Amino acid sequence: MEALLLGAGLLLGAYVLVYYNLVKAPPCGGIASLRGRTAVVTGANSGIGKMTALELARRGARVVLACRSRERGEAAAFDLRQESGNNEVIFMALDLASLASVRAFATAFLSSEPRLDILIHNAGISSCGRTHKPFNLLLRVNHIGPFLLTHLLLPRLKTCAPSRVVVVSSAAHRRGRLDFTRLDRPVVGWRQELRAYADSKLANVLFARELATQLEGTGVTCYAAHPGPVNSELFLRHVPGWLCPLLRPLAWLVLRAPRGGAQTPLYCALQEGIEPFSGRYFANCHVEEVPPAARDDRAAHRLWEASKRLAGLGPSEEAEPDEDPQPEDPGAPSSPSSPHPEELTVSEPHPSPQSSPDLSKVTHRIHVKTEPEP
């Protein structure tokens, strides 16, 4: 009996250590009121994205849920309006696997929304499932789609500076090794999927790093954020059905709830004073060092150039973010020469005029080439 009690005590003690060191997430502070500001959160119909959007809405922001499914996106927008008491939560259709959909979203957003203060790239996939595409679907959804969307929305972000871009990455980036000769090759089999997922998360970290360099002096800062081990749909989406009942209790014990996973992305979006750390990787609401492959500036620039090609950005579009946009003309598209064959859906039951935000509490970013210590 004594041995049994001792074993139970050791197990409980080990779980407490795991919970407080790995599972429990530090709460996000940051700017208390976001009234008059607009945020876009991709993949916000469930999990981490939905909890992120909820907190932004509770702080008074106008929140755009950029989701692939109209049914689930509109249902999430309704839930968030009810729970936050903020009627300015709307749905807009976005399928990151389709570059045409990304362009259509950007055009519709720029024509209807005068502000963009926070852009959070939360949407992602960990497996191709049964979908067969003639390209690397994981890289397309996790990196190329967000890369193109950021590029198309940069004029509005610059106009509303100081503003922020947050790219939700993962500790899996430490296993990533980008092969630039086969970036966009289709992924076949679960082993290739594991490798492609890690590569796409490494691409997220390098993208944030190079974006910070490209945006130096503009007032737009960017961060890669690791949400931690989270019990979300991404974790169980591709697990065989017979295994789910076994894994769910274990996931509940050792993984964070989506609300906990949202804390680091929210920290990067809202915390004051982190502007000097633009381009860095955050975990548990603080800067974390990354392996050499994730801080290779040459690889980051090479990925940037390869991403422009894979996103189909032409020379005229490459110059567009440096031009002064005219937000007073909401009908101006972001790329007049680009086709937008896909229909875009906007759900906004309670439109309201936008007010000028109080940006007095947000400091401008100071970009430093030598990475500061946290």
Task: Report, as residue numbers or ranges, the catalytic residues.
Answer: 197
In 3D space, the residue among 283, 246, 232 whose CA is nearest the CA of residue 125 turns out to be 232
Do strands 118-121 and 286-287 pair parallel, antiparallel, or not at all (unpaired)? unpaired
Query: Other C-beta atoms within 10 Å of 281: how many?
Result: 24
Query: Other C-beta atoms within 10 Å of 158: how many?
Result: 19
Tokens of 348: 């906004």
Q: How far is CA 160 from the centre of its chain?
A: 19
Tokens of 226: 């690791």
CA dist 372 and 38 (Å) reads: 30
Query: What residues pair up with 223 in beta bridges, in sequence order?
Result: 166
Is the dihedral angle over the CA atoms 27, 31, 34, 40 positive or is it negative?
A: negative
Radius of gyration of the chain (CA): 20
Q: What's 98's DSSP letter?
A: -
**Burial of 171 per CB tally in 10 Å (0-12, 13-18, 19+):** middle
Tokens of 338: 């680009």
Contact 140, 96 (CB under 8 A): yes
- Residue 344 carries which side chain, given as an amino acid letter? L
Distances, alpha carbon 120 to alpha carbons 23, 147, 159, 336, in Å: 23, 12, 17, 25
| Residue corresponding to tokens 């008059």 | 36
Continuous segment of H or E residues that includes residue 225:
strand 220-226
Tokens of 277: 């750390």
